[in-house]
């Protein structure tokens, strides 16, 4: 275990507060504030896991989760980014992707077989002979992927979601972001600031440095300035701070999504955040561009900020003897600071020929740290961790070896501009900064800080202020916002800050160095996918010349790091190599990209920008389903419920899913079904009838008071989209039902199809307002008569009749005499709040007949025996009214109505190619075919809509949609079922309906 | 003998302490443990969920909506504006449609001054422009200091939009379910919304809201708590 430096003012850990966790079955001790990775590092762990393809040892590299090096299994969850996960008491941590251990991985030998796996090898090998591929595929699938998750794993913890509102969202809690937030909030706007680390401060937070040139009065160190700003931000009434919150997506119209990791006092483990703002400021800063050299991912090689933050934020010195190979001033600053903290710095190599901060050069000299200008690391040595590094001049002519246990390496900086590109900013390569910068910004989006190439502290802060003010202007220019005076004042303030910013240093010249002079066999451009420079060269030599395609072919940048490591280097290297190849230069020469005339093209980024758990997206997991008023009672009666559309409905009332008893009870006695899910509507107003004429195929002027009329609605293609009954309540006042599935779309359907007519009508959705009891069976009348004084005899209340009556002087009922199940049936529509009471009354009245519930499946079989259709079951998108044999509903004479679908139906009337709905029974007393089974000969000729073993008819029957030449009664049909292995089953077309063809039972 | 009762689509996991039967509804006036103090009188900043599904509601539709005055009150002209007077809450939904809520403190004598003829435009029971929609939906109120901390876990709606003045209507999803949500107050501890949604979603909606409100101590309350809150507005 390394001794922790406990007294640093920059620390973000509490060394006095110990945290005990389990790593591979042993107790380890970290401190509060440690990440899992820093706690393990503190305990001497250097190899965190093995790489995806070659099983190379991998260790701490970025400290920000930019690659999969430190992904581990934590509390059973694989692929947790340990650099971003705070260690907690009792946590169980395991290494992953190893056979044996990370230290001694039995699969490590694969690293020596890299010659067998050139770029895209799986596209080209193992395909001939073809029989090899299924075997090879299984092995590749076994080897691919990181971590293992059991299919029945249940995610522990609480996951939540939040949709806060804001005027301005600031992405990034560094100095620029905090200044932007303060500037906008001071204008009275509601600001949200999102910061991925558990604290605000960004790249100021860990730096004790100041440039001694009075940038801040009193020569304030940067961390102190960061905390001062953070204090202002966190105490500002208009600013809401989301720390430990990563932004995963930015979309048009300023939609920002992210996720927050819960702290000790939070009620969630993680929560999804979605914000629709009026303006967005992106101040996400920069990450380091990895230096490309042989074994550049060997444990012991790490980025500058990783080594620096490890010391300053966590109090851990990453090594004893370090060699620096860098391309920016932050590297020099880190070397000076780490030297002062006790690290031995063997030398600092800088790929830049000029442009170094002279003050830093003096500080290096003061400490006698050897400075190698124009040198670079070319190879790290050591089988499992670094013990030596070879340094060379940029042209590779001179080399020297240095013994060390730490190589701090970084080629330059790269802006985190994924947020801008997701929001549709167009990026272009900027040769001065060597960055990809936004050429055109998305509307109401502003960038600030280091991502613009700024390095000077004051320049960064002023750019943040400017972005905040511009965001404020976006909000204030909105139609409903504020007066012109305020806008004018804001504009002049922006002008003043713009002028001020011009006095300050602008974007700094960026290092353009890409790769050390190496062949690249073990120079990794993407750690996650084990993609080397050699692989990229192979791909380009095969003819790929676009970085996006090279990314696909080599997988570089498609791993958990989401392109963080290779995102910038890949296009730079491709541009340089392709240009160099065409000019016969060596790609590893020190020639700059610009001098070769190459223009790097960025690769795409996609959300999520930062990986997180699917459980976080799932949130609190409330399943929102509709329940009928009878839900509880039917469950108590043994109902087996299923999700049907937006509803939960009782499908069965026993374990016998053939529903034999339920069916026989309705056929022979009396049953009750909860039909409350039916769509129910009132339409009224002077033009209500015109609307009905338009949407229904029948002549709705013939709807008579006291009668129900069954009809159907079609779309413009004549295809049936809905059916139901219509009742006339009064003049221009109707009550109608729709199928359950269509209820939600009915009002829009009516409005859409009358949108140019200017008709005066009003529709009210009463679907949930009315419960429906379907009372069916030969004894239904006797039961109904017991609860009402109304005459419900066949003469007073015949088939297709409609009555309104009040039960027990209290419960108003709309009663319809229908016959969907083929028996004497009543549909009782009752206010939902009274439904339970009426249901109990019916049940009470039916006791002497032993009345029983029946569910949706029994109803399905009963109506199928009667050949009554259910839309969606006996129809699909292309099925028209005539196909279903419902042509009798269509009134061809009501031309004024412009009935929807009438034109198409006329055209389809004599079309012999259309399907027909037919009834069939299975041959030789065979079982029913499965719903959806195909009707075939040498081609597919149709499909089975519904088929069941009918207990009423003692045979298996069903309905099918078939080509018209198969529709004739007596035709033998062949039925193909899934996985039937060529064994067809057979049926014969028979007349419909199968049961009570004259309708005597339902009309009696 | 079956007792005739009306059932709310909403049920809380709490025991009613005081109830009252009203038009066959069993209205809970107070739940066990909710605290007897009137709203705002307690030292604790509690948040409450109140079932108001029993209150009478109407849908009003007319091409000449300005001529209709439910209970003698004018319908607001602006889209999604609401108006609360004497316990009657009227919400302008669109060009031809408004919703009317008779809150528990509605003054019943309002219609006594009505001098209209048949098809009275201010009497919902008498005019064809009205459809009673009490049964269509559940109706609940969330009141207390943390109302908008709870709602932001359920919906992306901006209840604090400075361009809106209370009361105002949103017709938008909450917990993925289409709702009518009326913000009655966003005044610190007296914040409150009332909302309706399809009756069938009652059970799951209560579950979602109680879960969202758990960290803020949200608890069920009876109608009296709502009335005292309303009277304090």
CA torsion, ordered A976, A977, A980, A984, to nearest 10 deg:
-30
Listed by number, the residues of chain A in 675-704 with a beta carbon closer than 8 Å to a beta carbon of chain B are 682, 684-685
Chain B residue nearest residue A619, CA to CA: B153
Closest C-alpha to A336, from A326, A348, A328: A348
Question: pLDDT class for A514, splitting at 50, 70, 90?
Answer: confident
Give residue limits of the domains in chain B: 1-233
Nearest chain A residue to B25 by CA distance is: A833
Cβ pair A625:B205 closer than 8 A: no
Q: Are A469 and A494 in contact (CB under 8 A)?
A: yes
Given an 8 Å threshold on Cβ–Cβ distance, is A627 in contact with B63?
A: no
A723-738 average pLDDT score: 96
Smallest CA–CA distance, residue B160 to chain A, in Å, is: 8
Q: Which of residues 303-332 of A touch B (CB under 8 A)?
A: none
State how far the Cα of A269 lies from the Cα of B231, in Å rounded to an integer: 40
Q: What is the mean pLDDT of residues A878-899?
A: 92
Torsion sign across C-alpha atoms A351, A357, A360, A366: positive
Query: pLDDT tens digit string along A232-253?
Result: 999 999 999 999 999 999 999 9
A550 token code pair? 């090279």
pLDDT single digits (tens) A835-846: 999 999 999 999
Out of B2, B136, B154, name the one closest to residue A768 (CB): B136
CA atoms within 13 A on the CB side of B116: 19
B118: confidence class by pLDDT, cuts 50, 70, 90: low
Nearest to A840 among B2, B136, B163 (CB): B2
Using the beta-carbon criterion (under 8 Å), do B156 and A274 form an inter-chain contact? Answer: yes
Task: Please name the residues in contact with A543: beta carbons below 8 A apart, sequence gap of 6 or more.
Answer: none
- Is residue A660 within 8 A of residue A671, CB to CB? The reply is no
Contact A833 B2 (CB under 8 A): no
Task: Please report which confidence band the pLDDT of residue A46 belongs to, taking 50, 70 and 90 as the band edges.
Answer: very high
Query: Chain A 262-291, CB below 8 Å of chain B: which residues?
Result: 267, 274, 276
As a whole number of angstroms, the distance between CA B141 and CA B49 comes to: 6
Q: What percent of chain A has pLDDT over 90?
A: 82
Question: What DSSP state is assigned to residue A304?
Answer: H
Q: Which domains does chain A show, CATH number per domain?
A: 14-143 (3.10.20.440), 159-286+415-503 (3.50.50.60), 293-410 (3.50.50.60), 524-614 (no CATH), 626-677+769-873 (3.30.1360.120), 679-766+880-904 (3.30.70.1400), 912-1004 (2.40.30.110)
Identify the CA nearest to A439 among candidates A675, A599, A332, A654: A599
How would residue A578 be classed by pLDDT, with cut points 50, 70 and 90?
confident
Band the pLDDT of A589: cuts 50, 70, 90.
Answer: very low
Residues B163, A844: C-beta atoms closer than 8 Å: no
Would you state the pLDDT for residue A207?
Answer: 94
Residue A479 confidence (pLDDT): 60
Residues of A208-220 as b/e, b for ≥16 C-beta within 10 angstroms? bbbeeeebbeeee
Stretch A959-982: mean pLDDT: 94
State the pLDDT at residue A610.
92
Which residue in A has a C-alpha nearest to residue B216's C-alpha?
A267
B131 contact residues in A (CB cutoff 8 A):
682, 684, 764, 766
For residue A591, is pLDDT > 60?
no
Residue A587 has pLDDT above 50, yes or no: no
Residue A597 pLDDT level (bands cut at 50, 70, 90): low
Chain B residues near residue A833 by CB distance under 8 angstroms? 6-8, 24-25, 134-135
State the smallest CA–CA distance between residue A190 and chain B in angstroms. Answer: 10
Strand ranges inside B52-136, DSSP E? 57-61, 82-85, 88-94, 97-102, 130-132
pLDDT at A10 over 70: yes
- pLDDT of A482 reads 55
Check residue A775 and give its pLDDT: 98
**Whether the predicted pLDDT of B133 surpasses 60:** yes
- pLDDT tens for each residue of A796-834: 999 999 999 999 999 999 999 999 999 999 999 999 999
- What are the tokens at A976? 């193909």
pLDDT of residue A126: 84
- Closest partner residue to A160 (CB to CB) among B1, B63, B153 is B153
| CB-CB under 8 Å, A808 with B4 | yes
B201 CA to chain A: closest CA distance, Å? Answer: 5
Contacts of B220 (CB under 8 A, 6+ apart): B12, B13, B14, B31, B34, B48, B49, B50, B51, B210
Residue A190 touches chain B, beta carbons under 8 Å: yes
Q: Is the pLDDT of residue B206 over 70?
A: yes
Over residues A73-89, the mean pLDDT reads 94
Which chain B residues are within 8 Å of A755, Cβ to Cβ? none
Nearest-angstrom CA–CA distance, A157 and A269? 6
- Whole-number mean pLDDT of chain A? 93
Residue from the list B2, B158, B208 with its beta carbon closest to the beta carbon of A844: B2
Please give the pLDDT value at position A862.
97
Q: Which of these ranges, A132-141, A811-820, B211-220, has the smallest mean pLDDT?
A: A132-141
User: Residue A74 and residue A92: Cα distance in Å, rounded?
Assistant: 6
Q: Which of B59, B96, B175 sits opposite A622 (nearest CB)?
A: B175
Adjacent-strand bridge partners of A26? A23
Q: What residue in A sits closest to B136 (Cα-Cα)?
A: A769
Mean pLDDT on A176-197:
97
User: pLDDT of A400-459, one tens digit each?
Assistant: 999 999 999 999 999 999 999 999 999 999 999 999 999 889 999 999 999 999 999 999
Query: Contacts of residue B59 in chain A, CB cutoff 8 Å?
Result: 764
Strands A399-403 and A406-409: unpaired
Least confident of A121-125, A307-311, B130-134: A121-125
What's the rounded mean pLDDT across residues A878-887? 95
pLDDT surpasses 70 at A214 = no
Backbone Cα Rg of chain B: 17
Nearest by CB to A834, from B6, B131, B163: name it: B6
Residue A746 has pLDDT above 70, yes or no: yes
Give me the pLDDT at residue A586, please: 47
Q: Closest partner residue to A764 among B9, B59, B157, by Cβ?
A: B59
Chain B contact for A832 (CB, 8 A cutoff): yes
For the ranges A266-275, B113-122, B190-199, the lowest mean pLDDT is seen at B113-122
Closest CA to A280 of A260, A259, A252, A261: A252
Interatomic CA distance for residues A58 and A49, integer angstroms: 6
Whether the pLDDT of residue A611 is over 60: the answer is yes
**Minimum-distance CB partner of A831 among B97, B135, B201:** B135
Is the link from the previous residue into A909 a cis peptide, with omega within 30 of 0? no
For residue A210, what pLDDT is reported? 75
Interface probe, candidates B127, B133, B200, B215, chain A, greatest A C-beta count within 10 A: B200
What pairing do the DSSP bridges indicate for beta strands A435-440 and A426-430?
antiparallel
Comparing CB atoms, the residue among A160, A622, A626 nearest residue B198 is: A626
Residue with more model confidence, A592 or A918:
A918
- Indicate yes or no: CB of B199 within 8 angstroms of CB of A832: yes
Residues of chain A contacting residue B97, judged by C-beta atoms under 8 Å apart? 762
Say yes or no for a CB contact (<8 Å) between A765 and B136: yes
Supply the pLDDT for residue A140: 80
In tens, the pLDDT along A381-391 reads 999 999 999 99
Give the residue on B whose Cα is nearest the Cα of A677: B200
CB neighbours of residue A836 within 10 Å: 20
Do residue A622 and residue B97 have CB atoms under 8 angstroms apart? no
CATH number belonging to the domain at B1-233, selected among 3.30.1360.120, 1.10.760.10, 3.40.50.970, 3.20.20.80: 3.30.1360.120
Residue from the list A164, A622, A833 with its beta carbon closest to the beta carbon of B204: A622
This model of the complex carries an ipTM of 0.95
How much is the average pLDDT of A299-317?
97
Residue B134: closest CA among chain A residues belongs to which residue? A769
Q: So what's the pLDDT on residue B109?
A: 55
Residue A146 has pLDDT above 50, yes or no: yes
Nearest to B89 by CA among B172, B158, B98: B98
Q: Is a pLDDT exceeding 90 seen at residue B38?
A: no
Distance CA A377, CA A293 (A): 7
Q: Does A765 touch chain B (CB under 8 A)?
A: yes
Within 115-144 of A, beta carbons closer than 8 Å to B belong to none
Question: Tokens in use for B24?
Answer: 């066959």
């Amino acid at each position: 275990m390394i001794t922790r430096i406990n007294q640093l003012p920059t620390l973000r850990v509490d060394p006095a507060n110990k945290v005990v966790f389990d790593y591979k079955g042993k107790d380890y001790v970290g401190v509060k504030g440690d990440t899992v990775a820093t706690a393990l590092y503190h305990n001497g762990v250097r190899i965190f896991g093995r790489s995806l393809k070659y099983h190379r040892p991998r260790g701490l590299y970025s400290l920000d989760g930019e690659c999969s090096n430190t992904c581990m299994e934590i509390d059973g969850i694989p692929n947790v980014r340990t650099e971003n996960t705070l260690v907690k008491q009792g946590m169980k941590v395991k290494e992953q992707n190893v056979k044996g251990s990370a230290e001694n991985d039995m699969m490590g030998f694969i690293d020596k077989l890299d010659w067998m796996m050139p770029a895209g090898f799986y596209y080209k090998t193992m395909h001939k002979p073809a029989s090899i591929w299924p075997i090879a595929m299984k092995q590749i699938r076994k080897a691919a992927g990181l971590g293992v998750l059991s299919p029945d794993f249940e995610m522990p913890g609480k996951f939540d979601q939040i949709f806060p509102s804001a005027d301005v969202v600031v992405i990034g809690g560094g100095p620029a972001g905090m200044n932007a937030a303060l500037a906008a909030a001071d204008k009275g706007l509601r600001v949200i600031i999102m910061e991925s680390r558990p604290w605000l401060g960004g790249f100021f937070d860990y730096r004790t440095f100041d440039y001694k040139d009075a940038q801040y009065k009193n020569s304030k160190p940067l961390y102190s300035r960061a905390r001062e700003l953070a204090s202002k931000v966190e105490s500002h009434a208009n600013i809401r701070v989301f720390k430990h919150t990563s932004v995963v997506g930015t979309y048009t119209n300023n939609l920002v999504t992210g996720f927050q990791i819960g702290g000790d006092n939070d009620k969630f483990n993680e929560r999804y955040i979605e914000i629709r703002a009026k303006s967005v400021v992106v101040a996400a800063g920069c990450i380091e561009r990895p230096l490309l050299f042989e074994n550049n991912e060997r444990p012991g090689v790490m980025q500058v900020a990783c080594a620096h933050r490890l010391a300053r934020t966590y109090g851990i010195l990453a090594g004893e003897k370090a060699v620096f190979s860098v391309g920016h001033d932050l590297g020099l600053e880190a070397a000076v600071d780490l030297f002062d903290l006790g690290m031995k710095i063997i030398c600092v190599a800088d790929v830049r020929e000029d442009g170094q901060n002279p003050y830093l050069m003096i500080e290096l000299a003061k400490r006698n740290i050897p400075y190698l200008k124009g040198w670079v690391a070319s190879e790290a040595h050591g089988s499992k961790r670094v013990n030596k590094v070879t340094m060379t001049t940029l042209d590779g002519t001179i080399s020297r070896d240095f013994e060390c246990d730490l190589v701090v390496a970084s080629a330059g900086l790269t802006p985190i501009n994924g947020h801008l590109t997701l929001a549709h900013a167009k990026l272009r390569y900027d040769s001065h900064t060597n960055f990809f910068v936004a050429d055109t910004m998305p509307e109401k989006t502003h960038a600030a800080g280091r991502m613009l190439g700024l390095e000077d502290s004051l320049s960064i802060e002023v750019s943040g202020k400017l972005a905040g003010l511009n965001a404020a202007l976006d909000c204030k220019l909105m139609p409903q916002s504020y007066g012109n005076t305020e806008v004018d004042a804001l504009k002049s303030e922006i002008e003043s800050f713009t002028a001020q910013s011009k006095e300050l240093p602008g974007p700094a010249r960026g290092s353009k160095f890409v790769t050390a002079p190496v062949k690249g066999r073990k120079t990794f451009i993407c750690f996650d996918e084990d993609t080397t420079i050699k692989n990229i060269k192979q791909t380009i030599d095969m003819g790929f010349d676009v970085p996006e395609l090279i990314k696909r072919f080599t997988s570089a940048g498609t791993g958990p790091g989401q392109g963080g490591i290779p995102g910038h280097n890949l296009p730079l290297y491709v541009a340089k190599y392709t240009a160099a190849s065409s000019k016969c230069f060596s790609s590893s020469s020190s020639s700059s990209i610009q001098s070769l005339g190459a223009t790097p093209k960025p690769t795409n980024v996609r959300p999520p920008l930062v990986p997180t758990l699917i459980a976080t997206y799932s949130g609190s997991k409330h399943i929102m389903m509709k329940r009928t008023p009878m839900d509880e009672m039917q469950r108590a009666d043994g109902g087996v419920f299923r999700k049907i559309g937006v509803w939960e409905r009782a499908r069965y009332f026993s374990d016998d899913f053939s529903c034999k008893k339920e069916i026989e009870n309705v056929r022979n006695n009396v049953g009750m079904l909860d039909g409350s899910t039916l769509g129910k509507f009132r339409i009224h107003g002077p033009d209500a009838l015109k609307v009905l004429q338009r949407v229904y195929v029948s002549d709705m002027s013939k709807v008579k008071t006291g009668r129900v009329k069954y009809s159907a609605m079609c779309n413009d293609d004549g295809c049936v989209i809905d059916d139901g009954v219509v009742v006339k309540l009064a003049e221009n006042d109707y009550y109608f039902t729709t199928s359950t599935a269509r209820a939600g779309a009915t009002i829009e359907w009516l409005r859409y199809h009358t949108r140019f007519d200017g008709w005066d009508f009003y529709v009210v959705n009463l679907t949930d307002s009315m419960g429906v009891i379907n009372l069916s069976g030969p004894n239904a009348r006797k039961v109904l008569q017991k609860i009402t004084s109304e005459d419900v005899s066949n003469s007073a209340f015949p088939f297709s009749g409609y009555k309104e009556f009040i039960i027990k002087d209290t419960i108003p009922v709309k009663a319809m005499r229908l016959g969907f199940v083929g028996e004497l049936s009543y549909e009782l529509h009752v206010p939902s709040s009274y439904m339970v009471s009426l249901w109990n009354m019916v049940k009470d009245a039916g006791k002497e007949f032993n009345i029983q519930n029946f569910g949706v499946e029994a109803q399905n079989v009963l109506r199928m025996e009667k050949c009554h259709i259910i839309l969606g079951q006996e129809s699909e998108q292309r099925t028209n009214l005539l196909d279903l044999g419902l042509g009798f509903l269509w009134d061809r004479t009501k031309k004024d109505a412009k009935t929807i679908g009438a034109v198409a139906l006329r055209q389809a009337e004599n079309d012999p190619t259309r399907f027909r709905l037919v009834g069939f029974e299975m041959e030789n007393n065979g079982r029913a075919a499965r719903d959806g089974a195909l009707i075939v000969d040498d081609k597919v000729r149709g499909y089975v809509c519904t088929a069941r073993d009918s207990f009423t008819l003692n045979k298996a029957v069903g309905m099918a949609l078939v080509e018209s030449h198969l529709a004739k009664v007596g035709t033998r049909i062949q039925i193909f079922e899934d996985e039937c292995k060529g064994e067809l089953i057979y049926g014969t077309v028979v007349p419909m309906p199968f049961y009570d063809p004259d309708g005597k039972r339902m009309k009696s | 003998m079956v007792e005739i009762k009306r059932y709310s689509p909403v049920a809380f996991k709490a025991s009613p302490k005081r109830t009252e039967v009203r038009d066959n509804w069993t209205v809970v006036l107070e739940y066990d443990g909710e605290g007897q103090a009137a709203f705002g009188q307690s030292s604790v900043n509690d948040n409450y969920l109140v079932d108001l599904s029993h209150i009478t509601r109407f849908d009003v539709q007319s091409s000449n909506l300005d001529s209709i005055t439910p209970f003698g009150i004018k319908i607001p002209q602006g889209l999604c504006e609401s108006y609360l007077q004497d316990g009657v809450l009227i919400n302008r939904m669109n060009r031809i449609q408004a919703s009317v809520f008779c809150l528990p403190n509605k003054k019943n004598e309002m219609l006594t001054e009505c001098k209209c003829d048949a098809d009275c435009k201010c009497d919902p029971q008498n005019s064809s422009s009205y459809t009673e929609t009490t049964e269509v939906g559940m109706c609940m109120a969330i009141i207390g200091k943390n109302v908008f901390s709870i709602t932001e876990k359920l919906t992306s709606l901006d209840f604090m939009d400075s361009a809106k003045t209370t009361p105002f209507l949103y017709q938008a999803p909450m917990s993925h379910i289409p709702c009518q949500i009326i913000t009655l107050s966003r005044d610190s501890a007296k914040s409150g919304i009332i909302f309706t949604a399809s009756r069938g979603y009652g059970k799951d909606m209560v579950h979602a809201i109680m879960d969202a409100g758990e960290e803020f101590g949200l608890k069920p309350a009876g109608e009296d708590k709502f009335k005292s809150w309303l009277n304090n507005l």
